[in-house]
Amino acid sequence: MTGLLERPPGRLAGRTPVRLGPFSGVWRPRVIAVTLTGLALLVLVAAVNIGRGDFPISLAEVLAVLVGGGDEAQQFIVLELRLPRTLTGILVGAALGLSGAITQAIARNPLASPDILGVTAGASATAAAVIVLGGGNGVITGLLSAAGLPVAALLGGLFTAALVYALSFRRGIEGYRLVLVGVGVGAVAMAITSWLLVVAEVYQAAQATVWLTGSLNARGWEHVVPVGFALVVLVPVALLLAFVLGGLQFGDDTARGLGLNLNRSRGALILVAVALAAVATASAGPIAFVALVVPQICQRLVGSSRPPLLASAVHGALLTVGADLIARTALGTELPVGIVTAVLGAPYLLHLLARRNRGVTA
Amino acid sequence: MTTATATPAGAGLPGAPAGQRGAVALRRRRRLVILGLLALLAVAALASLAVGAKPIPLPVVWDAIFFPTGTEDGIVVRSLRMPRTVLGIGVGIALGVAGALMQGHTRNPLADPGLLGVSAGAAFLVVIGIYALGVTSLFGYVWFAFAGALAASVLVFVLGSLGRGGPTPVTLALAGVAVSALLTALTSALVLADTNTLDAFRFWAVGSVAGRDAGTVVQVAPFLGLGLLLAAVNAPGLNLLALGEDIARGLGQPVQLTRWVGLIAITLLTGAAVAACGPIGFVGLVVPHVARSLTGPDHRWLLPASGLAGAVLLLAADVIGRVLVRPAELQVGIVLALVGAPFFIALVRRRRPASL
């Protein structure tokens, strides 16, 4: 909000409008440049990620296999092992980046991420319950275990988000109340998780910790399909709904004055963000930091007043796949990707903070 | 959330007389709040001494404290429950005051001592202590936790103050998030590399006041005392900062000095609390909201009320944890979330929490 006041007034008038039928917007070449650069880097990193490993395959051979060539061993390794893993990384990262951008734009808080809606906390608690309690104890955990870890995590995440939404609904949804209720519900879920870790056997606790850190290890096509389907449906919806984000940016009263139906548009956007985050978390565990840092980084790269959606999705995918490449190959052992996303993302955010301290807006 | 530049509306201006009668009523109300909290704290402390796996009647507790004769009940009270209760009070006050200071300084209602990287830093050094040096006693954790808390918050302040304009609420919060995420990731990496470390760490990380002896209390007491002193000094300056930095500077307040004193107080208080009990969430986040709805935004009243409410909440949660699954215990960190969260949600739903 303060950023608007600090900007020299001449810049606003100098922007070129773009009109297409009933829609209109402002021509922002930086948004397009940042998105396309991210996309190009993403393709490159994904190809390298598929090629590297215990059985190295050159870039040219990777491309050959992808269009149907290569020998049998290469086809198996690329198509059955590394491609699904990389695709899961791309899709999960894109979903997290987009979800984070939407959440931060609605909450108008740079600290907001889908975590605040309780999605990841709920999914984590459910997953920990499945790992620690197994099938033996009780009807609910038995049913969840039978459904499998990803489905259980998805249900847990969606249920928690629905709970947060229901508890914060009071003659409509207010961003402030939603965030605070989310903190409360998330704290309960996290307490349950840490209690489960204390009562678990050590090996179960270790297994749960890997999941809780976020890992792409041993992800196959069965993980790619649900995330891919979710993105195909949700990305267009998110981009359509995003038109109201500009109005929401000015606060409730102004947005209402601009003729927005606050509850409907905000509820729809939250639903999209939650669905994206829940599907992503169910597939790969809560990969830290992508949803939090990528929208902030993209906002600074683009120089806009709120996180750009498409650019956030592309760069979320880039960060996740790049982190997975490092997690798989940089050290001797294979780390969970969530550790690397945090180690990569945190210093970059700090660097941007130090360089453009004045550009930060709440 | 964009209260960064907004001043509290209307009645929020500290010290502004809203009519003579209103001011008197407000002062009487605040005194009543403090007295009520003190009474609650006394009740909670007695409950904490009497309730547990072995219930001890209050007269016996009284005798054990003031006329020790060495009976079995007396030993339970003096050597187990008294240090635990004193520590609970100290840590509760520290977390409550630190939370109020933090929300005042960052002007972010979500601000929590964990936000400045304190908990994450403490956890990371504790893990290093367990992993590399084989420390396994609570006595050993304390110093690692304190060093980690201190180092992480200094790192956050330095990183948040880089660039033009020095530390602002938003840059500090973002730097805290970044450093926390980094340290948490490194902690996970270490914990995953060694099962024994995970086994020791998970019991510390859950947050508990059980099993602490008088030595732990003595260790952290100086840091708590200094932190509370700095917090008291900081209160009037924080009231002026709430009007906005420019106005505070215009009224003759040394803004940077006030910020630094506040940050040092937060670090000392939360560092000592985390060191003694492990990361206990929720007190620093919830309590200031409750206290603010009772006393209003004047930090001279808000800070003591937050501290007392924090101590009451922590002791109550500890007592509940001992009763719920008797003869076993639920750790206070878990109970706090299970009990505190519904209360917090009800408060948030009832009306908009008093603005910062």
Whether residues A353 and B282 touch (CB distance < 8 A) is answered with: no
Element (H, E) at B101: helix B82-106
Determine the pLDDT at residue A359.
Answer: 43
How far does B59 lie from chain A, in Å, by closest CA? 35
Averaged pLDDT in 10-residue chunks for chain B of 356 residues: 39 50 82 91 89 80 78 78 90 92 77 73 88 77 83 82 64 76 84 82 81 81 92 90 84 85 87 84 82 86 93 91 81 83 76 49
Q: Is B324 on the interface with A (CB under 8 A)?
A: no
Q: Is residue A324 part of a domain?
A: yes
Distance CA B242, CA B297 (A): 9
Q: Is residue A145 part of a domain?
A: yes
Whether residues B185 and A362 touch (CB distance < 8 A) is answered with: no
Q: Is residue B8 part of a domain?
A: no
Give the number of domains in chain B: 1
Residues of chain B in contact with residue A251, where contact means CB-CB under 8 angstroms, are 2
Q: Which residues in chain A land under pLDDT 50?
A: 1-4, 9-10, 358-362
Q: Is residue A166 part of a domain?
A: yes
Q: Is residue B27 part of a domain?
A: yes
Q: Is residue B153 part of a domain?
A: yes
Determine the pLDDT at residue A54.
Answer: 75
CB pairs under 8 A between A and B: 184
**Helices within chain A (DSSP H only):** 2-6, 9-13, 29-51, 59-66, 72-75, 83-107, 119-133, 139-147, 149-168, 175-199, 202-213, 221-241, 245-248, 252-257, 262-284, 290-302, 309-329, 337-355
Determine the pLDDT at residue A353.
Answer: 67
Determine the pLDDT at residue A361.
Answer: 41
Q: Is residue A17 part of a domain?
A: no
Q: Is residue B9 part of a domain?
A: no
Burial classification of residue B105, based on how many CB atoms lie within 10 Å of its CB (0-12 exposed, 13-18 middle, 19 or more buried) = buried
For residue B183, the SS3 value is helix
Whether residues B181 and A345 touch (CB distance < 8 A) is answered with: yes
Give the number of domains in chain A: 1
Whether residues A293 and B178 touch (CB distance < 8 A) is answered with: yes
Determine the pLDDT at residue B92.
Answer: 93
Burial classification of residue A131, based on how many CB atoms lie within 10 Å of its CB (0-12 exposed, 13-18 middle, 19 or more buried) = buried
User: Which residue range forms the structural domain that includes residue A205?
Assistant: 27-359
| ipTM rounded to 2 decimals | 0.70
Tokens found for residue A112: 């907001």
Mutate to test the interface with A, among B202, B331, B336, B339 (most CBs of A within 10 A): B202
CATH code, domain carrying A236: 1.10.3470.10
Question: Which of A179, A188, A349 minimises the CB distance to B110?
Answer: A179
Between the CA atoms of B254, B260, B266 and B271, what dihedral angle is there, to the nearest 10 degrees? -160
Beta-bridge partner residues of A18? A25
Question: Which of B203, B348, B352 minimises the CB distance to A198?
Answer: B203
Q: How many residues does chain B have?
A: 356
Spell B233-270 as b/e; 16+ CB within 10 A means b.
ebbbbbbbbbbebeebeeeebeeeebbbbbbbbbbbbb
Q: Are B161 and B167 in contact (CB under 8 A)?
A: yes
Nearest to A313 by CA among A220, A237, A246, A262: A237
Q: Are A290 and B185 in contact (CB under 8 A)?
A: no
Determine the pLDDT at residue A29.
Answer: 83
Report field, pTM of the whole predicted structure over 0.90: no
Tokens found for residue B225: 């005392």
Question: Which of B110, B330, B349 minimises the CB distance to A111?
Answer: B110
Instruction: Give the type of residue at A56.
Output: P
CATH code, domain carrying B157: 1.10.3470.10
User: Which residue range forms the structural domain that includes residue B199?
Assistant: 21-71+82-350
Q: Is residue B51 part of a domain?
A: yes
